[in-house]
Homo-oligomer: A and B are copies of this chain.
């Protein structure tokens, strides 16, 4: 049984270079809204803020750009991506396709130990949601955990990189900045359980179908919230 500790998404670099540190710090600052979305990033001021020269900083920014958190134009500068309703919907569409496939592959290939760990995690989440009759913890921690495990369980390295290295950070950025806490916790947990069951039964087709429906349901929940807020 695995610990509920944060899952190492992409293997952290064996040796940490200055650019790596700056990359992590900058990403967190952007994702958590410390640096507001849409704002312009000046290389000199950032270099001073992180106490590094422009070389490693530019490398970090380049990597942020490759994860689509930054947009650069030559001789003009870099801006943090703008969070729009449209982009969020696009993100959900891609996630639906990719995570559906991940669930299918996980059902076909995940080790029995992996499936057991998945079921254990689900049980733990069930306990937590019961205990604090709460929605807060689940959507903020449990849901990403669930999705990570499925994706990693697919065994498809490319799938893992696209989702864990890029899309999930962006998804977290939306959660942080739009302040979404789902009231869908109980429904989501039920949907998770169905997906896990399908994986345990090695029914790839059903697992994919259920996962896609789960992602669509999440999207609709978000859509409703945004409509209420009048974004």
Chain B minimum-CB-distance residue to A91? B158
- How many Å lie between the Cα of A21 and that of B58 in the bound state? 18
Q: How many copies of this kind of chain does the complex include?
A: 2
- How many Å lie between the Cα of A83 and that of B100 in the bound state? 26
Select the stretch in A28-36, A38-46, A60-68, A111-119 that faces chain B. A60-68
Chain B minimum-CB-distance residue to A160? B90
Q: Which of B15, B66, B101 contacts A63 (CB 8 A)?
A: B66
B13→A94 contact, CB < 8 A: no
Q: Is A74 among interface residues, defined by CB-CB distance under 8 A?
A: yes
- How many Å lie between the Cα of A123 and that of B161 in the bound state? 38
Q: Is A22 among interface residues, defined by CB-CB distance under 8 A?
A: no
A-side binding surface: helix, strand, loop or mixed?
helix
Chain A interface extent, by class:
20 to 34
A159→B90 contact, CB < 8 A: yes
Chain B positions within 8 Å of A74 at CB level = 13-15, 17, 20
Residue contacts A-B, CB under 8 angstroms, 15 given:
A14-B74, A15-B75, A17-B74, A66-B66, A90-B157, A93-B156, A94-B101, A94-B156, A94-B158, A94-B159, A96-B101, A97-B97, A97-B98, A97-B101, A98-B98
- Chain A residues within 8 Å of B, Cβ to Cβ: 13-15, 17, 20, 58-59, 62-63, 65-66, 68, 73-75, 87, 90-91, 93-94, 96-98, 100-101, 105, 156-159, 161-162
